[in-house]
Amino acid sequence: FVGLKAAFDSGKIKAGDTLLLKGGSYGTIDLKASFTSPVVIQSLTGKSAHFDWIELSGSARNITLKNLS
């Protein structure tokens, strides 16, 4: 996918998925997705994915953020 928003907008992310991000800047994102079990968003091992701002809004549920800066 070209960006995290595109991945969520695609509808292909399912409950239980883990999204591994390359190191770099991802800017800002507003996530409104809701899942029945956690979806994990995390940096690849040894990499640092950076967000300026993350908002979980609306009905956002079961989104776990790990190892992000």
Question: For the segment 35-47, what is each residue's pLDDT rounded down to a tens digit?
Answer: 999 999 999 999 9
The predicted model gives 1-29 an average pLDDT of 92
Query: What is the pLDDT, as a whole number, of residue 3?
Result: 85
Query: What is the pLDDT, as a whole number, of residue 19?
Result: 96
Query: What is the pLDDT, as a whole number, of residue 1?
Result: 79
High-pLDDT (> 70) share of the chain, %: 100
Half-sphere exposure of 51 (CA within 13 A, CB side): 18
The predicted model gives 26-38 an average pLDDT of 94
Q: What are the tokens at 48?
A: 């640092």
